[in-house]
């Protein structure tokens, strides 16, 4: 770790003043979980660390630490911990969000880690994280996973980098319509649709969202149609405290025995939370028969292009989506 | 010193008062309260911190080293070139240079300023690559096998001539396998693979060296063998071993990677000792997790071609295992004793194993060297043959095993585990094509009693205040030997365990053994009993003399009361009759006296058995495997501490579950770097993997030593992964022949199985 300056702002305005002075040299710290990992490995070398948590009590920062919900809307402040998100009773529509937060990491990390930090964490790709290897996202000339050991890398939407987006919470949130609430300077924040917030390596290599230096993520707001339900689940090589091999979130509602407003999102398979639109199309406006659900699960990975070591994700992911569709639609799972 | 001599002391018979009961470990409160001092908690005045510059390339030649950048950094007190120009680099992580500085941060910053020019040469890190024609040679010169106290001491040494990167290990052959295979009615043949896995002790390798003048030093080390650290440091620095004091009060795991002053892939003792001498101050060298996972040893991989054949009456008649595995730049990629000696009623058996050198960190002993790999391939192949000939796997095993205790363990396990029910349920779910399947599997362990005579000198002292003290230089690596010493002495002297004070973990406390080969308890506990019996006798003689009673009329009763003719004295009152020196008695273990109830191959020592039954649940949609229940039926002679023994077996099972389901070292084929040198993508099992565990011990009375205790550390982990793999085969009807059994492999096996079944 390098020597650094720690700043503890007393308000958002304070925080913006510090950020504005040196946007590129300032790193925002919330829970600090991923930041500490990157810092210790020398991937980040922040000159100034801005601890957002000390601003949270101020009047202008109220949104940062608040969690509120109605039957059809959910607002998550960037400083809300994963544990709070998992343990707070939320309307049924947002079950996927609770489940994703509750399955992430381990209890100790969930009590420390924040929603904002989780959405903005950097990729876990072992080439990106290796202190001695210069991958494409760290200024190298090519993606080392593409020609190397890519067991955990992307099967969908990859190239020129094949990272997968690390945030399980993002996978769940993208199953809803919503916005990231971002503030570039004191005053009215801007709202960026979640579908545009996360960006892949063709658009950016230095980050996985559109957030720019100097901007603060205040939180996320999502909504669900009345009567919607959702679910999230993951397949892991280790049952607890493990990054998923594949994860998925599904949101839909059932109207007159047919499926409506279906959204299927895959995680850990692409550089962004991946909308499986082919699967959605199979289900939208149709009756949820076991055959239909199986067909949708197959369609979810339509167009997947595995690398040398990760083709296994496709079959695992199809099985997961199929099981999850049964659970969320209420179609009984076979024994 | 006559009837209590280790050579003639009769083994314990029948029930005992303390020994064998569930006893709380004496180091427990210190550990759970945080009071326990581990190696890196020891901070001598003026302590400096070392860091090591390591090779970033897997193969090459060192051309130049420039240490000046490090030397100029304020806070740096000593800089050392470990590599020299012209030296070959054979794996990423190899030592290049080292520094000692006033803080760990400065030491790391200094290492970053060391410039080493390494001219890279082609490297090879995969088994296939290393065996290919024209592969880069890892070793140009003949290779000396490195052996530690973690290895089976009875294993045949040596190896054949190296061809390319392949070095044959001593072969085993019994009968005429070729002829038997040619005549057999049924032959099963398949290839089984296990990955390189890492010891991953929670406490990384660490060593602190403080010189005391020019000819003496104190070393604090996280080690499985205090005396091997002592002897190696003495040898490196030309000191008398007596002038080297080694201390290991508590340690956080070793599993085979912590013998000697150096880690298998890093000259830690040399580096810390030399830096300390140069700087004139104590130096601590503690590895970070990345180095720990990359250079401190590993369990070699294996690719085993197994052939097993049965005759028309369901008897297994031939078995052959041809294995290739890589221990990186090191040796020892064998497959243990399982195929050679577990099923002795298979008349024709052959095992041929090979080391395949690759440009990766060296393998070393890891909890039952070779055995978990060998067990996995052997037992799964046997089950595949059983399925072909319609035999029950458990019956087949019992029918081919000569060990009477293991045969009994199979039968006990059959009932405790409800084998027949579980197999029937698995069969039904399989036949119905159920989404979620269950399965049951069984596998066995073979290990030997490697307890050694005269290897440990234990002192038992009784003071005038009635206090009892035990001293020995053994390290307690977590198995609980310190508690066993307290229990053994408490037993002999009729004292409560908590009244016996044990000092251990320092070379000044009397010679002892390294904790490898499951030999600690059976080497040290008997010496403690011998010493305690001598102390008891001396106490009674002293009381007799002080009270003018004939020696035969003074006896020690249960509870520690001393009977002097018609009078009874409390233990404390009796001790007040001692002179100021109290009593001090030294004991050593006698030679192994018996190989009953059944000999280890080669004879002269008992064979330790043990069987494990695993139940699994498999989701055939997602490929997720969960081990739901594990029944472990083991033997280790006379159990010394029921609680610690059960815990030891549970730990071995968890370690085996990691090998079965989640652990594998991942190496980048292009750069030769370990990609998961952490505890994040290197997936140790956690609480989510914990099955219901049922541990049962079959008591075995053996005359092997004065306590009748045998080892359990390694047998506890040998059969686990094999049993799980067999259970997965039972659940699916198709085998997963590669460890770890990850979700993608399960689905691939199902897909391949369907393809095979299709017309």
Instruction: State the best of B291, B681, B685 to mutate against chain A, taking most chain A CBs within 10 Å.
Output: B681
Q: Say how many CA atoms lie within 13 Å of B76 toward its Cβ.
A: 23
Q: Which CATH number characterizes residue A245's domain?
A: 3.30.390.50
CB B110 within 8 A of CB B68: no
Q: Would B653 be classed as within a structural domain?
A: no
CB A124 within 8 A of CB B647: no
Q: Would A242 be classed as within a structural domain?
A: yes
How do B607-608 and B447-448 pair as beta strands? antiparallel
- Compare CB distances from B676 to A126, A147, A239 and report the shortest one's residue: A126
The total of other beta-carbon atoms located within 10 Å of residue A86's CB is 18
Q: What is the dihedral of CA A193, A197, A199, A203, to 10 degrees?
A: 90
Q: Which CATH number characterizes residue B545's domain?
A: 3.30.365.10
Write out the DSSP string of A55-72.
GTTSGGGGGGG-EEEETT
What is the structure's pLDDT at A145?
Answer: 98
Tell whether the model's pLDDT for residue B758 goes beyond 90.
no
The secondary element (H helix, E strand) that includes residue B410 is helix B404-417
| Residue A313 C-alpha, separation from nearest chain B C-alpha, in angstroms | 7
Domain carrying residue A314: 229-329
Which carries the bigger pLDDT value, residue B750 or residue B150?
B750
Question: With bands split at pLDDT 50, 70 and 90, how would you rate the model's confidence at B551?
Answer: confident
SS3 B218: strand
CB-count burial class (<10 Å; 0-12, 13-18, 19+) for A135: buried
Q: Which residues contact B650 (CB under 8 A, 6 or more apart)?
A: B693, B695
End residue of a domain, out of B236, B271, B295: B295
Q: Please identify among residues 177-196 of chain A the ones whose CB lies closer than 8 Å to any CB of chain B.
A: none
Q: Would B692 be classed as within a structural domain?
A: no
What is the structure's pLDDT at B639?
Answer: 97
Give the DSSP letter of residue B339.
I
Q: Which residues of A touch B623 (CB under 8 A)?
A: 235, 315-316, 319
What is the structure's pLDDT at B219?
Answer: 98
What is the structure's pLDDT at B1?
Answer: 37
pLDDT per residue as tens digits for the range B56-69: 999 999 999 999 99
Give how far Cα B747 sits from Cα of A299, B546, B735, Å.
Answer: 18, 79, 11
Are the Cβ atoms of B683 and A315 closer than 8 angstroms? no
CB A81 within 8 A of CB A110: yes
Q: Which residues of A touch B624 (CB under 8 A)?
A: 235
What is the structure's pLDDT at B6?
Answer: 56
What is the structure's pLDDT at B255?
Answer: 97
CB B12 within 8 A of CB B638: yes
Q: Which residues contact B127 (CB under 8 A, 6 or more apart)?
A: B301, B303, B324, B325, B326, B356, B358
> Is A108 part of the contact surface with chain B (CB cutoff 8 Å)?
no
Are the Cβ atoms of B744 and A333 closer than 8 angstroms? no
CB B701 within 8 A of CB B708: yes
Q: Which residues of A touch B109 (CB under 8 A)?
A: none
CA distance B375 to B612: 12
Tell whether the model's pLDDT for residue B2 goes beyond 50.
no
- Compare CB distances from A319 to B56, B290, B623 and report the shortest one's residue: B623
Residue ranges of chain A whose pLDDT lies below 70 = none
Q: Backbone phi, then psi, for B632, in 5-degree steps?
A: -120, 120
CA distance B411 to B395: 9
Give which of A148, A158, A146, A124 is closest to A304, Cα–Cα. A158
Q: Would B235 be classed as within a structural domain?
A: yes
Peptide bond into A4 cis (omega under 30): no
Q: Would A317 be classed as within a structural domain?
A: yes
Rg, Å, chain B Cα set:
27
The DSSP bridge partners found for residue B163 are B166
pLDDT per residue as tens digits for the range B254-278: 999 999 999 999 999 999 999 999 9
Q: Which residues of B touch A240 (CB under 8 A)?
A: 686-688
Per the document, the length of chain B is 759
The DSSP bridge partners found for residue B186 are B310
Q: Would B753 be classed as within a structural domain?
A: no
SS3 B691: coil
Q: Would B227 be classed as within a structural domain?
A: yes
Strands (E), B57-171: 60-66, 76-81, 88-89, 95-101, 115-120, 166-168
What is the structure's pLDDT at B35?
Answer: 96
% of chain B beyond a pLDDT of 90 = 93
**For helices B743-757 and A312-329, what crossing angle results, to 10°?**
100
Q: What's the structural domain count of chain A?
A: 1
What is the structure's pLDDT at B7?
Answer: 61
Question: Which tokens hold the place of B553?
Answer: 């009329």
Q: Backbone phi, then psi, for B218, in 5-degree steps?
A: -115, 135
pLDDT per residue as tens digits for the range B498-515: 999 999 999 999 999 999
What is the structure's pLDDT at B3?
Answer: 38
Are the Cβ atoms of B666 and A316 closer than 8 angstroms? no
The total of other beta-carbon atoms located within 10 Å of residue B456's CB is 28
Question: Which tokens hold the place of B706?
Answer: 């004065």
Q: Would A286 be classed as within a structural domain?
A: yes
Question: With bands split at pLDDT 50, 70 and 90, how would you rate the model's confidence at B4?
Answer: very low
CA distance B212 to B585: 31
pLDDT per residue as tens digits for the range B438-459: 999 999 999 999 999 999 999 9
CB A131 within 8 A of CB A42: yes
CA distance B302 to A278: 42
What is the structure's pLDDT at B483?
Answer: 98
Q: Which residues contact B279 (CB under 8 A, 6 or more apart)?
A: B48, B77, B78, B100
Give which of B525, B560, B521 is closest to B713, Cα–Cα. B521
The total of other beta-carbon atoms located within 10 Å of residue B129's CB is 17
Give which of B655, B758, B751, B753 is closest to B384, Cα–Cα. B753
CB B393 within 8 A of CB B443: no
Q: Would A50 be classed as within a structural domain?
A: no
Q: Would A32 be classed as within a structural domain?
A: no
The dihedral of CA A11, A13, A19, A22: what is its sign? negative
The total of other beta-carbon atoms located within 10 Å of residue A256's CB is 6
Complex prediction ipTM: 0.97
Q: Would A159 be classed as within a structural domain?
A: no
Question: Which tokens hold the place of B139?
Answer: 């070793």
What is the structure's pLDDT at A194?
Answer: 97
Give the CA angle between residues B220, B226, B227 to the nearest 5°: 130
CB B362 within 8 A of CB B95: no
CA distance B490 to B17: 9
Q: Please identify among residues 720-759 of chain B the ones whose CB lies closer than 8 Å to any CB of chain A.
A: 740, 742-745, 747-748, 751
Q: Would A149 be classed as within a structural domain?
A: no
Report how many helices (DSSP H) and strands (DSSP E) chain B contains, helices first.
Answer: 18, 29
Q: Which residues contact A26 (CB under 8 A, 6 or more apart)?
A: A7, A18, A19, A46, A47, A48, A49, A50, A213
Q: Would B693 be classed as within a structural domain?
A: no
Give which of B567, B571, B548, B549 is closest to B464, Cα–Cα. B571
Q: What mean pLDDT value characterizes chain B? A: 96
Give which of B424, B452, B481, B475 is closest to B615, Cα–Cα. B424
Are the Cβ atoms of A127 and B675 closer than 8 angstroms? yes
CB B239 within 8 A of CB B209: no
Q: Would B244 be classed as within a structural domain?
A: yes
CB B222 within 8 A of CB B389: no
Q: Which residues contact A196 (CB under 8 A, 6 or more apart)?
A: A210
CB A48 within 8 A of CB A4: yes
CA distance B251 to B476: 7
Q: Which residues of A touch B661 (CB under 8 A)?
A: 237-238
Give how far Cα A147 sits from Cα of B124, B668, B670, Å.
Answer: 15, 9, 8
Q: Would A12 be classed as within a structural domain?
A: no
Domain carrying residue B253: 39-121+200-295
Place of tokens 């030999």: B519
Q: Would B535 be classed as within a structural domain?
A: yes
Q: What's the structural domain count of chain B?
A: 2
Question: Which tokens hold the place of B309?
Answer: 């054949």
Give the DSSP letter of residue A136.
G
pLDDT per residue as tens digits for the range B469-496: 999 999 999 999 999 999 999 999 999 9
SS3 A279: helix
Rg, Å, chain A Cα set:
20
Give how far Cα A160 sits from Cα of A141, A144, A203, A208, B365, Å.
Answer: 10, 10, 10, 13, 42
Q: What is the dihedral of CA B424, B428, B433, B435, to 10 degrees?
A: -70
Are the Cβ atoms of A241 and B688 closer than 8 angstroms? yes
Q: Which residues of A touch B436 (CB under 8 A)?
A: 335
What is the separation of C-alpha A60 from the centre of its chain, rounded to a whole number of angstroms?
A: 26
End residue of a domain, out of B261, B295, B329: B295
End residue of a domain, out of B570, B587, B604: B587
What is the separation of C-alpha B106 from the centre of its chain, rounded to a whole number of angstroms?
A: 36
The secondary element (H helix, E strand) that includes residue B106 is helix B104-112
Q: Please identify among residues 265-324 of chain A the ones whose CB lies closer than 8 Å to any CB of chain B.
A: 311-313, 315-316, 319-320, 322-323
């Amino acid at each position: 770790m390098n020597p650094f300056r720690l700043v503890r702002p007393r308000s958002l305005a304070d925080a913006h003043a510090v950020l504005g002075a040196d946007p590129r040299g300032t790193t925002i710290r919330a829970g600090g979980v991923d930041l500490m990992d990157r810092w210790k490995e020398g991937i980040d070398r922040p000159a100034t660390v801005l601890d957002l948590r000390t601003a949270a009590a101020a009047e202008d920062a109220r949104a940062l630490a608040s969690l509120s919900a109605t039957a059809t809307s959910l607002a998550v402040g960037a400083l809300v911990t994963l544990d709070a998100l998992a343990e707070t009773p939320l309307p049924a529509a947002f079950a996927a969000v609770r489940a994703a937060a509750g399955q992430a990491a381990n209890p100790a990390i969930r009590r420390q880690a924040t929603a904002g930090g989780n959405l903005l964490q950097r990729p876990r790709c072992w080439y990106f994280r290796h202190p001695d290897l210069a991958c494409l996202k760290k200024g190298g000339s090519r993606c080392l996973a593409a020609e190397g050991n890519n067991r955990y890398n992307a099967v969908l939407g990859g190239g020129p980098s094949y990272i997968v987006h690390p945030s399980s919470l993002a996978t769940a949130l993208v199953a809803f319509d919503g916005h990231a609430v971002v503030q570039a300077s004191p005053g009215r924040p801007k709202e960026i649709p979640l579908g545009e917030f996360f960006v892949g390596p063709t658009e950016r290599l230095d980050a996985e969202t559109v957030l720019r230096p100097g901007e603060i993520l205040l939180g996320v707001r999502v909504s669900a149609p009345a009567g919607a339900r959702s679910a999230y689940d993951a397949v892991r090589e280790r049952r607890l405290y493990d990054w998923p091999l594949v994860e998925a979130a599904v949101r839909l509602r059932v109207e007159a025995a047919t499926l409506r407003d279906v959204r299927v999102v895959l995680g850990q398979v692409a550089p962004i939370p991946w909308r499986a639109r082919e699967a959605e199309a199979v289900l939208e406006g149709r009756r949820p028969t076991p055959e239909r659900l199986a067909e949708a699960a197959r369609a979810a990975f339509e167009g997947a292009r595995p690398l040398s070591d990760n083709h296994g994700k496709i079959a695992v992911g199809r099985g997961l989506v199929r099981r999850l569709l049964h659970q969320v639609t209420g179609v009984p799972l076979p024994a | 010193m006559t009837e209590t001599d280790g050579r003639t002391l009769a083994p314990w018979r029948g029930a005992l008062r303390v020994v064998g009961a569930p006893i709380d470990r004496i180091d427990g409160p210190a550990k759970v309260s945080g009071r326990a001092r581990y190696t890196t908690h020891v901070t001598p005045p003026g302590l400096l911190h070392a860091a090591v510059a390591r090779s970033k390339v897997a193969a090459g030649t060192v051309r130049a080293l420039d240490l000046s950048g490090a030397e100029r950094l304020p806070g740096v007190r000593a800089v050392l070139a470990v590599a020299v120009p012209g030296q070959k680099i054979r794996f990423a992580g190899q030592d290049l240079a080292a520094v000692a500085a006033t803080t760990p941060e400065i030491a790391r910053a200094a290492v970053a300023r060391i410039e080493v020019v390494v001219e890279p040469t082609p490297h090879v890190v995969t088994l296939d690559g290393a065996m290919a024609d024209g592969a880069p040679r890892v070793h140009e010169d003949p290779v000396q096998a490195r052996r530690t106290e973690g290895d089976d001491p009875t294993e045949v040494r040596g190896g054949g001539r190296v061809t390319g990167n392949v070095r044959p290990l001593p072969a085993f052959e019994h009968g005429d396998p070729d002829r038997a295979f040619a005549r057999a009615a049924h032959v099963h043949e398949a290839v089984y693979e296990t990955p390189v896995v890492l010891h991953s002790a929670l406490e990384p390798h660490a060593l602190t060296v403080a010189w005391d003048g020019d000819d003496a030093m104190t070393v604090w080390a996280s080690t499985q063998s205090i005396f091997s650290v002592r002897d190696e440091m003495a040898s490196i620095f030309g000191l008398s071993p007596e002038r080297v004091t080694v201390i290991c009060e508590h340690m956080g795991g070793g599993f085979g990677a912590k013998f000697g002053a150096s880690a298998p892939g890093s000259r830690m003792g040399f580096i810390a000792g030399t830096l300390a001498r140069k700087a004139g101050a104590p130096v601590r060298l503690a590895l970070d997790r990345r180095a720990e996972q990359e250079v401190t040893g590993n369990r070699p991989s294996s690719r085993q071609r197994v052939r097993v054949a049965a005759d028309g009456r369901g008897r297994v008649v031939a078995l052959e295992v041809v294995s290739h595995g890589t221990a990186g730049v090191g040796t020892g990629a064998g497959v243990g004793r399982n195929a050679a000696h577990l099923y002795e009623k298979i008349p024709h058996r052959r095992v041929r194993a090979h080391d395949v050198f690759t440009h990766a960190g060296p393998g070393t002993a890891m909890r039952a060297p070779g055995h978990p790999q060998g067990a996995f391939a052997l037992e799964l192949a046997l089950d595949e043959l059983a399925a072909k000939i319609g035999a029950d796997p458990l019956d087949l095993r019992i029918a081919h095993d000569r060990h009477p205790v293991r045969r009994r363990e199979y039968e006990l396990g059959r009932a405790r585990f409800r084998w027949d029910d579980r197999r029937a349920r698995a069969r039904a779910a399989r036949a119905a094509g159920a989404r979620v399947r269950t399965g049951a599997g069984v596998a066995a362990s073979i290990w030997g009693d490697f307890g050694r005579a005269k290897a440990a000198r234990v002192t038992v002292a009784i003071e005038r205040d009635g206090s009892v003290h035990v001293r020995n230089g053994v390290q307690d690596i977590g198995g609980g030997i310190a508690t066993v010493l307290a229990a053994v002495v408490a037993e002999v002297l009729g004292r409560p365990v908590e009244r016996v004070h044990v000092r251990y973990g320092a070379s000044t406390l009397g010679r002892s053994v390294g904790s490898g080969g499951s030999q600690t308890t059976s080497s040290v506990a008997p010496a403690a009993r011998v010493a305690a019996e001598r102390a008891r006798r001396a106490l009674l003689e002293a009381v007799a003399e002080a009270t003018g009673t004939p020696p035969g009329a003074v006896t020690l009763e249960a509870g520690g009361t001393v009977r002097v003719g018609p009078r009874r004295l409390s233990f404390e009152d009796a001790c007040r009759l001692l002179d100021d020196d109290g009593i001090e008695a030294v004991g050593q273990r006698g030679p192994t006296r018996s190989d009953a109830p059944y000999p280890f191959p080669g004879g002269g020592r008992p064979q330790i058995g043990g069987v494990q039954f695993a139940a699994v649940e498999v989701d055939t949609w997602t490929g997720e495997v969960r081990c739901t229940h594990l029944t472990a039926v083991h033997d280790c002679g006379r159990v010394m501490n029921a609680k610690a023994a059960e815990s030891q077996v549970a730990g071995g099972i968890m370690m085996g579950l990691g090998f079965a389901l989640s652990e594998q070292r991942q190496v980048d084929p292009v750069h030769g770097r370990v990609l998961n040198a952490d505890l994040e993508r290197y997936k140790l099992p956690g609480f989510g993997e914990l099955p219901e565990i049922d541990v049962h011990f079959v008591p075995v009375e053996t005359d092997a030593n004065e306590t009748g205790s045998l080892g359990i550390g390694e047998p506890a982990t040998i059969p686990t992964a094999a049993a799980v793999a067999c259970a997965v085969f039972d659940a699916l009807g198709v085998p997963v022949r590669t460890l770890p059994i990850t979700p993608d492999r399960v689905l691939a096996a199902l897909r391949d199985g369907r393809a095979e079944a299709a017309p």
